[in-house]
A and B are shown apart, each in its own frame.
Chain A
Amino acid sequence: MSSAVRFFRFPAFLLAAALAAFPQAPARGPEVKALEAPALEFRLKNGLRVILAEDDTLPVVSVVVAYGAGAARDENRKGGLAYLMETLMFQGSENIGPMQHWAAVERVGGSLNATTTHDVNLFSQTVAANQLGLVLWLESDRMRSLAAGQETVEKAKEELVVENRQRRAADPFLETSFEFDRLLFGGFAAAHPVVGSETEVKSLTEADIRAFYKAFFVPNNALLCVVGAFNLDRARDLIGRYFETIPAGGEVPPPAASFPPTDGEEGTLRNVKNAQTVVPALHLGFRMSSLQTGDRHALRVLDYLLIRGRSSRLQRRLVRRERVALYLGGGFEERAGTLVFRVFAQGNNEVMTERCRRVIMEEIERLKTEFVSAEELESARNRLTADFYGRLTTSLGRAIALVEYARSRGNLDDWAAELDKFLRVNPQTLISLVNRHFDRKRSVVLNVQVR
């Protein structure tokens, strides 16, 4: 059935050894426990990547199918197509009627969801362990064929248009956020909104949908991950039965990404008037340059250090100490291979948002020259560790984490050491990282002013 089978087992994390390498870190408690879930990775003849991870904590199983068919695949002026596909994937296939996929999972007490980002169209379900066959049957049928009447397509488009209008009405900063995306990400692939514009959605045709499905909803552009209580041999048999004979699609090229030129030494600065809101806001971002080994882990730690959690540097200073931000959010985001750091802050007036901008820039400059204290780094590591493990407490959380990891790294070779790599990030690494990536020339600021 498959080639190149690899086994992995989470080892115990030897934090004591890790800490010995970082004299800045204070003494730590007992070592963090690892989850001993073995993961098996293989590829079917048709190119479908499969990850299996057994966990018998409860008789539950989660199945995730991720297609490399996110919004970055939308062609110019066809925004919203990938998102529309998410809806249409529930509208029936050769052997399953409209919405019957949903009903079949719900009927056996399962839960299911779907999400579209710029990178993936991801479908997930969690069911009692004895229903694994049902979910694989359902998923294989819509990977193999998609049946949707013209009426269904038109209805899905109408619903998407209404949803777009409702989103825009409910979130006064959504439009400016899209505007900021255009400035920050540049090229259409990463910059356009997942939901598309009303004009784009209305113009989508049956031929567009057929071409998109044929090009991207193919086994060689998909990853199937099963996590939970199952027998490994039985799961492999079922996967072989339902997925092996689905024909591979054509070659799938990587999505395009490009950066626009910046305005000069100080980066890009724009002001925009917003009639929808009574308070001003600030969008601020940096485009990261090419990543070096270890950068991904260091950037994640920096995320926690700067903006995640109430004791992160920017939350502490802008929200609690200086009280110039009414709301502050953001962090690192990756779309179609383009990595950015972005912050959104709301203030009561423009003096406050300007102060937010200055403080953010000031803190980034400080990170270029001053070592982060051991206490601050420890706090960031703790929050990151808690979130990391928090995701792994459910079969679905673990399946999505494995899918994300496998998609971004290409394989699971180092998955077992993933947390350890975050914990190894030290103050020296961070200084080097910030100096390499946070270049003012690659900064983008969008001031949202009250009209």
Chain B
Amino acid sequence: MKDGDRTRTSACLRAAAVFLFCLCAAGLGAQERFRKAPPDPEPLSPLRLPPVESHVLTNGLRIGVAPRPRSPVAVIHVVILAGEADSPPGLPSVAALTAGMIGRGTPLLTASDMENAVDRMGATFMTDVAPDMTVFTFTCLERDVDRALGLLKTMLLEANFDERQIEGVKRTLFYDRRTKERDPEFVARRQLFRLLFAGHPYQITTYTEESVRSATRRDLETFYSRYYRPNNAIIVVTGDYSLSTVSLKVSRQFNAWVARDVERPFLPPPVPNSASRVCFVDLPSAQNAYLYIGNIVMPMTSPDYFSWLVLDQVLGGTTSSRLFMNLRETRSFAYYAFSETNFFRTSGIFWARAKVTPEVVSPAVQEILKDLENLASERLAVFEMEQAKAFLIGNFPLRLETPEEFGLRVARILAYNLGAEHWNKYLDAVMLVSLDRVLETSQRYLLPKPVVVIVGSGDQVVDHLREFESIEIYDSKGAWKQTIQKGVAK
């Protein structure tokens, strides 16, 4: 706080330290006892989710249903079990470009015809390309689900790889990447992924805007022909349906989709980082410093998954978690500090992230590392673990509220083979996590040294990096420039 502010505040405080505005002074004189403390929560309401059922057509297409009784809205998720990591070596972005061509016309319908058809139904069509899978989401009124499936079939099975449309998709992707590359958080996360996935197929997902240019029409057609097959796809319909109804509706449209063997090389999990590594990415436009500190962890199928969720929550799930309380509230280093985990088919990746002022980069990194070490060396306090569990249990049903999220979760359960009862065991599994299991899990995943990525403007940040033994310097695109050792002049 500035000096002037402090003087003014002191004067005001002398006048009235705290004021209490009352609706009615007389009515507020003596409050009822129940107002003094929050009520105890009532018993946890049961969460009964339907078992995840699926049916496989003769062409190998797996069909799932996410039942939402009385829902007037239907959501169709089409999952292609190939994503960014399946783009051919040397041709990153092919998966994204191929996905972008779905809905961009067929030999008989233009892209504009299709977009109009979707819009006139009041529907929406979205595409998301993740490292392991590509997901198309079509949301429509329940009464239109047959029309929607028909339209989706046309989009997916009759995709036309018109050169002009490909250029349009490339342009969109190019500018999307260019825009993101101004965002220090995106740059930091991409650099962390790039370093942790070095030598692994997942690394191809961290491409830059320039990579978008190199793919040709033939590359896209080859990718499409190889992966867009019924035996490599899942369709999940969310709405007021049974599996038999959905199977009938979907098979009517997709049973002619031709299967072909999809060869997939074995994908080993990436190897966690274990040596000290501090990297600085120079992003001249950044106003502050952004810290991303992370490592490889387990996939969702691991027995450590639920204890990890509790651990991650304690570390940086909310504003009451350790990172936020330490870096922002206690030390005033950070604007914010949280942790997150992404899960893929063979592994997960976690990171602590914080936005700090340049002059506190070094102590802030040390504090985050200390918070990670503490988790791996000491048991959690009971209240901390219970608080984390309360959050996870309370938050779980909230994340299933929209039909899009509800259906996507079913799609993910099927795609990752998590089992029919995966989501019904969530609450019990979280409740059963013990202090010992959390400690074991943290020792397994937090003891190996994480990678530290710092993004900021070189002019503002470099002078504050002297405390580190060794710093790898990268440009804003992630290309290595030099490594500086402590005590060695530049």
Contact = CB atoms under 8 A, between A and B. Distances in A.
A24 interface: no
Contacts of B72: 32-35, 389, 392
A251 interface: no
B409 to A, nearest CB: 12
Nearest to B28: A145
Interface stretch (B40-48, B78-86, B100-108, B189-197): B40-48
A51 B395 CA distance: 24
A359 interface: no
A216 to B, nearest CB: 11
Interface string A10-43: 0000000000000000000111111110000000
Contacts of B12: 150-151, 154
Contacts of A407: none
Interface in B44-100: 44-47, 68-73
Could you say which of B26, B44, B45, B402 has the most chain A C-beta atoms within 10 Å of its C-beta?
A: B45
Interface string B234-264: 0000001000000000000000000000000
A150 B9 contact: yes
A338 to B, nearest CB: 29
Interface in A116-169: 126-134, 137-138, 140-141, 143-151, 154, 158
Contacts of A393: 71, 73, 401-403
A150 B16 contact: yes
B41 A108 contact: yes
A385 B401 contact: no
A214 B23 contact: yes
B268 interface: no
B336 interface: no
Contacts of B45: 59, 128-130, 229
A385 B21 contact: no
B478 to A, nearest CB: 27
B5 A144 contact: no
Nearest to B406: A58
B447 interface: no
Nearest to B390: A108
Contacts of B320: 103, 106-107
Contacts of B142: 32-33
B9 A151 contact: yes
B6 to A, nearest CB: 10
Contacts of B397: 58-60, 128
A432 B457 CA distance: 60
A396 B392 CA distance: 20
B68 A57 contact: yes
Contacts of B479: none
B17 interface: yes
Contacts of B119: 309-311, 379, 383
Interface string B4-36: 010011001101111111111011100110111
B265 interface: no
Interface string B387-402: 1001111111110111
Contacts of A30: 143
Nearest to A375: B120
A261 interface: no
Nearest to A206: B19
Interface of B is mostly: mixed
A130 B19 contact: no
B23 A134 contact: no
Contact of A32 (B116, B141, B318): B141
B382 to A, nearest CB: 15
A150 B8 CA distance: 10
Given A126-B398, A150-B16, A33 B143 contact: yes
Interface string B449-460: 000000000000
A185 B408 CA distance: 44
Contact of A35 (B19, B20, B40, B70): B70
Interface string A80-111: 00000000000000110000001110111111
B122 interface: yes
Q: Contact residue range for chain A? A: 35 or more
A218 interface: yes
Nearest to B394: A109
A246 B32 CA distance: 11
Contacts of B431: none
A134 B122 contact: no
A210 interface: yes
A213 interface: yes
B401 to A, nearest CB: 4
A177 interface: no
A206 B16 CA distance: 10
A241 interface: yes
A443 interface: no
A33 B70 contact: yes
Given A36-B70, A94-B28, A60 B143 contact: no
Interface in A368-403: 378-379, 382-387, 389-390, 392-396
Nearest to A238: B39
A149 B41 contact: no
Given A60-B397, A95-B35, A383-B122, A128 B44 contact: yes
Contacts of A60: 397-398, 401
Contacts of B73: 386, 389-390, 393
Contacts of A107: 318, 320, 387, 390-391
Given A146-B21, A379-B120, A94 B31 contact: yes
B115 interface: yes
Contacts of A428: none
Given A109-B393, A389-B72, A130 B123 contact: no
Could you say which of A132, A386, A387 has the most chain B C-beta atoms within 10 Å of its C-beta?
A: A386
A114 B43 CA distance: 28
Contacts of A144: 23, 28, 35
A245 B401 CA distance: 34
Given A128-B45, A245-B32, A393-B73, A109 B398 contact: yes
A110 B394 contact: yes
A33 B70 CA distance: 7
A229 B121 CA distance: 31
B38 interface: yes
A249 interface: yes
A218 B24 CA distance: 10
Nearest to A132: B42
B122 A108 contact: no
A108 B38 CA distance: 12
A247 B25 CA distance: 9
Nearest to B387: A107
A190 B397 CA distance: 39
A273 interface: no
Give 10 nearest A-B pairs by CB, closest first. Answer: A109-B394, A386-B122, A109-B395, A59-B45, A150-B12, A247-B24, A247-B27, A382-B122, A133-B39, A33-B72
Interface of A: 29-36, 57-60, 94-95, 102-104, 106-111, 126-134, 137-138, 140-141, 143-151, 154, 158, 206, 209-210, 213-214, 217-219, 229, 241-242, 245-247, 249, 309-311, 320, 378-379, 382-387, 389-390, 392-396
16 contacts: A35-B72, A59-B47, A94-B20, A95-B35, A106-B319, A108-B391, A109-B391, A110-B398, A130-B42, A147-B21, A148-B18, A150-B12, A310-B115, A378-B120, A383-B119, A393-B73
